[in-house]
Amino acid sequence: MVTHRHEIVIVGAGIAGLAAALEAAMAGRDVAVVSKVFPTRSHSVAAQGGTAAALGNMEPDRWEWHFYDTVKGSDFLGDQNAQALFCQEAIDTAYFLEHIGVPFSRTEDGRILQRYFGGHYSDFGQGPPVRRACLAADRIGHVMLHTLFGQCLRYKVHFYSEFLVTRLLMHEDGCAGVLAWELVKGEFHLFQAKLTLLATGGYARLFQVSTNAAINTGDGMGMVLEAGLPLEDMEFVQFHPTGLYPWGFLISEGVRGEGGHLLNADGERFMQRYAPAKMELAPRDVVSRAIQSEINAGRGIDGKPYVYLDITHLSEEVIKEKLPQIREMAIKFAGIDPKKAPIPVAPSAHYSMGGIPVNVDCEVLADGKKEVVPGLFAAGECACVSIHGANRLGTNSTMECAVFGRRAGKRMAKLAEKTRFLPLPEVQVKMGQEEIKALFERGPKVKVGEVREKLQESMTQNCGILRGKSQLKRQLDILQDLKSAYKNIGLKGLPVAYNLALQEALELKHMLNLAEAIVRGALARTESRGAHYRTDFPKRDDKNWLKHTLVFMQEEQYRLDYKPAVITSFQPEERRF
Amino acid sequence: MKRRFFIQRFSQEKGSYWQEYVIDCDPTWVVLDALEAIHKQDPSLAYRRSCRHGICGACAININGKNRLACETRVANLPEKIRIKPLPGFPVIRDLVVDLNLLYQHIETVKPYLITQTPPPEKERFQSPEDRKKLDGLYECILCGACTSACPTFWANRNFLGPTALLKACLFFMDSRDEAKTDRKAILNSHPGLWQCHSIFNCTEACPKGLNPLRAIVMLRKKILRGK
C-alpha cells in the first residue's frame, strides 16, 4: 500500500476545501487535496444565484444588517458570535475572490454587481430588500470553484482526484490522517497528515427529489460519526422552494430576486397569504412550506405536486444576461422557454444546516461543545459552526465555504510548523481494508440501488418538509430494516478498477447512519423551528428548544446531547415576513 | 418507451466488447437516467456522473457518434437504437470512463488562473461591463473534454494543447485584469496548439455548452499577431 505524507490533507475539493488549500499553500505549506471526483465536478459548481456580502454596491448596506437577517433567517438557532464574524469577513472575502480572478458581473461603474435574494433586507429587517448577492450571471458556484482550482494549481497544491476517503485514522493524540481507495486503479492509499480538514459537503441525496449532485452523500459526516465524534443539528434539512419539476434541479432563488412570481393552479400569487410583506423573497423554509401547503390543498398545477415560477413578465434581455443557465435548463429539460411559459417547480432537498460541530477556527469539537480534537478540522456544508441554525439564507452557503475555508487554511498553516506527524493506527487501517475486502467477497444478495431507493423514498415520505411523531417512528423501523439489508450487499465477481458499485456501497453506509441521526434528532425535537416542522408541534418553543442537538453513534447505538445556542446581540422574536 | 442501448464496454480482464441492454425509459429521461437504470441491473457498468444537470462536466460520452453530456441528452430525442461509447481520443480506463489526465495537463500548461503584479486595491478591482462582456463565451467552460476529444489534430498529436486548453488561455488573455500577457504569449508560441489548429470546427460542434473554441483560437491569433 502506498503511503503519502503531507503536512495538510484536505478531503473534498469544493469551495471550502479549495479555499482552505489555497490559503495554506499561499502560506507556503505542503497541501494535498483528496477528492472522490475531479475538483471541478464538486457540487459547489452548481451554486447559481450569488454569494452574500454586504458590499453596498447597489444601495447602502451594512454587515450588521446581514448579521440580523442571518440570525432571524436561522430562526434564532445560529450561534451569534459566529454569525457576526461571518458577516464581517464576508466583505473581505468577496474582494479576495475578485482579486484572485472570479469574473463577477459588473455594475455600470465597474464594481461587483449584486442582486436581491430571499431573506436579505435593510435596516435590521425593517427596511426594503437589499441587493447583497454578488453574482456572475447565474453561475456563482462555477466561477468560484474554477477560479479557486486554477489558483490552487498555481500554488502547487497536490491533487489526488477520484480517491474515495473511507476512514479517518484516529490516534489517541488526534487525527493522524485518512485511508483512501483510488477509484481508477482500485487500490488503497494511506495519507499521513499533521492536520486533516474535512470539506466533504452535504447529504441531500438522502432524499428522493434533490437539487444535489449524485456525490452528495455526506461521507465526511458519516466518517465522523463512525469515529465516535458528534454531529450537530442534523434534523435541520433545507428544502429549496424551487426545484425544476419533476427532476428537482436547482432553479435559483435569483429568479425570484430578479422579480419572478410563484403561482398556484388558480393563477394566484399565493405568497401573499403566507408572507404578505416579503412575498417570494421570504426565507426558504417559509416559501417551501407555502408551496407544500398549496400542493397539499389541491392547488398544484393540474392537481400535480408542483406550482409555477413565472418570469414571462421579465425582459428577454434580463433573462438572457442574468439567468442564462436557468433559461438553458428550462429549455433543455422541461422544453420550456421561460420568456413564453412559466417554469414548473416544487420543493427539493437542498442543504444540510447541521454537520460536524466546529469552533470558529474550524477545529472539530470532540464533545460538540469545547474540547478540540487535535489535528482535525471541518469547513463548508459538512461543518456546523453554526451560521445557519435552523434555516439557511440563500447565498450564505457559498460565502460560508469561502470564509471558513479560508479560516481553516490560515489556521492550519499557522499550526503546521509546530505540529508533528502521528503514527498511523494499524488496527484502524486493517479494519478499513477488511471492510472493502468483505464487500468483494460477499455474493450480491441485495443490490445497492434497491436499498438506496427505499431509503430516499422513505426519508422523503417520513422525514421531509412536514414531519410528525408517528411518521418519524415508522422511519426508525424502516431504517433498521434497511441497515439489515445493507449487510447483505456484496460485490463478488465485479472488477476492482473504477468500481462505481463499491463507491455507492460505501456511500450508502454513511447515508443510512446519517438518516438515523436526522430522524432521532427530529423525533426528539418537539417544536417547529426553521426547516424542521413538526405537524404535531407547530410552534417554536424557545423555553425548551433554543439549543443545538448533538448526536453520537457508538456500536450502532445513538445518544443525544444538547448545548445552548449562543446569543450575543439579538433576542429571539416572532419571525414574520 | 423501449430503447436498445449498445454500450462499448472495456476492462483489463475482458478487453473491449459491445453489450446490449433493452431499457424501458420514461419520456422525461436523459441518457444518464438510462445509464443509472442499466447500472441497477448490471452493477459492473462504469461511468462518471456528478451534478446531473449539465454544469459539472463529468458525464461527457459519445452518443450515436456525437460527444455529449449524458445528463443533458433526452432519450426521447434519440432513435430506438442508441450506441454509447467513451469519449474518443483518450485512453479508456473502464467502460465509459476515460483517462483525462492529458487534457488536465494541457489546461495546466496555459496557466488557467489570473496573474497580476499590481497589489490589489482595498476593495474590488474595477472592470467595466464592456470588458466583463469579453469573458462571456469563455468562462462558462465546464472542462468536460468533449471538444478536445472531437479534435482530429489532438488525435494525431498528443502534445497539441487542444481546444479546451486554448479556450481557457483565451479567457485569461481577454481578462482586462490580467497582467501576464507576455508570459501567456510565450507559452502559446512555444507549445503546439494555437498555430497548429486546422480550423476543423469539430470542437465548436461538440461543445455541449454552445461555446466556440475555434472563435477563441482565432481571437488569440489576432491578439498575438497584433502584438497586444
Which tens digit of pLDDT belongs to each residue from A302-335? 999 999 999 999 999 999 999 999 999 999 999 9
Please report where in the chains the cell 394566484 appears, as a residue.
A268
Q: Is A284 a catalytic residue?
A: yes
Which candidate from B55, B123, B129 shows the least CB-CB separation from A46?
A: B55
Q: Of A131, A256, A284, A467, which one is the catalytic site residue?
A: A284
Secondary structure string (H, E, C) spanning A393-448:
CCCHHHHHHHHHHHHHHHHHHHHHCCCCCCCCCHHHHHHHHHHHHHHHHCCCCECH
Give the pLDDT confidence score for residue B228 in this predicted structure: 53
> Which chain A residues are closer than 8 Å to B113 by Cβ?
100-101, 147, 150-151, 153-154
Q: Which three cell numbers stand for residue A213?
A: 449532485
Nearest to B139 by CA among A145, A496, A494, A374: A145
CB–CB contact A99 B120 (8 Å): yes
Which candidate from B52, B114, B143 shows the least CB-CB separation from A40?
A: B143
A vs B: CB pairs below 8 A: 162
**Region A527-554 average pLDDT:** 97
Chain A residue closest to B28 (CA)?
A333
**Cα-based distances in Å from A62 to A121, A124, A245, A471:** 10, 10, 37, 43
Chain B residue closest to A453 (CA)?
B40
Chain A residue closest to B75 (CA)?
A333
Profile chain B (228 residues) by mean pLDDT over runs of 10 residues: 97 95 95 96 95 96 98 96 98 98 98 97 98 98 98 97 98 97 95 95 97 97 83
What confidence tier does A6 reach under pLDDT thresholds 50, 70, 90?
Answer: very high
Give the pLDDT confidence score for residue B153 in this predicted structure: 97
Q: Which three cell numbers stand for residue B37?
A: 437504470
Give the pLDDT confidence score for residue B226 in this predicted structure: 84
What confidence tier does A538 reach under pLDDT thresholds 50, 70, 90?
Answer: very high
Q: What is the distance, to the nearest Å, from the Cα of residue A158 to the centroid of all Cα atoms in its chain? A: 25
What confidence tier does A573 reach under pLDDT thresholds 50, 70, 90?
Answer: very high
CB–CB contact A500 B47 (8 Å): yes
CA distance A354 to A374: 22
CA distance A434 to A463: 33
**Region A20-34 average pLDDT:** 98
CATH T-level assignment (fold) for domain A2-42+139-236+353-416: FAD/NAD(P)-binding domain (3.50.50)
Give the pLDDT confidence score for residue A127 in this predicted structure: 94
In chain B, list all ranges with CATH 1.10.1060.10.
Answer: 101-225
The pair phi, psi for residue A297, each rounded to 5°, is -85, 5
Secondary structure string (H, E, C) spanning A138-181:
CCHHHHHHHHHHHHHHHCCCEEEECEEEEEEEEECCEEEEEEEE
What confidence tens digit (pLDDT) does each residue in A46-73 have?
Answer: 999 999 999 999 999 999 999 999 999 9
> Which chain B residues are closer than 8 Å to A332 by Cβ?
54, 72, 74
Chain A residue closest to B113 (CA)?
A150
CB–CB contact B52 A247 (8 Å): yes
**Does domain A238-350 sit in CATH 3.40.50.300?**
no
CB–CB contact B11 A147 (8 Å): no
Chain B residue closest to A147 (CA)?
B113
Which candidate from A104, A325, A495 shows the least CB-CB separation from B11?
A: A495
pLDDT of A556 above 90: no
pLDDT of A408 above 70: yes
CATH class of B101-225: mainly alpha
Which candidate from A41, A139, A141 shows the least CB-CB separation from B57?
A: A41
Indicate if the alpha-carbon torsion angle B138, B141, B143, B144 is positive or negative: negative
Give the pLDDT confidence score for residue A318 in this predicted structure: 94
**Region A247-276 average pLDDT:** 95
CB–CB contact B129 A106 (8 Å): yes
Other Cβ atoms less than 10 A from the Cβ of A234: the count is 28
CB–CB contact B57 A40 (8 Å): yes
Nearest to A320 by CA among B118, B164, B210: B210
CB–CB contact B54 A99 (8 Å): no
Domain definitions of chain A by residue range: 2-42+139-236+353-416, 238-350
CA distance B213 to B163: 6
What confidence tier does A396 reach under pLDDT thresholds 50, 70, 90?
Answer: very high
| DSSP symbols for A298-313 | T-SGGGSS-EEEE-TT
> Which CATH number is correct for B2-98, 3.10.20.30, 3.40.50.720, 3.50.50.60, 3.90.1010.10?
3.10.20.30
CB–CB contact A106 B128 (8 Å): yes
**Region A207-231 average pLDDT:** 97
What confidence tens digit (pLDDT) does each residue in A138-176 have?
Answer: 999 999 999 999 999 999 999 999 999 999 999 999 999
**Cα-based distances in Å from A337 to A120, A147, A225, A310, A318:** 29, 31, 45, 11, 14
Which candidate from A38, A94, A99 shows the least CB-CB separation from B125?
A: A99
In chain B, list all ranges with CATH 3.10.20.30.
Answer: 2-98
The pairing of strands A261-263 and A307-310 is: antiparallel
> Which chain A residues are closer than 8 Å to B55 by Cβ?
45-46, 139, 141-142, 325
The answer to whether ipTM exceeds 0.90 is yes
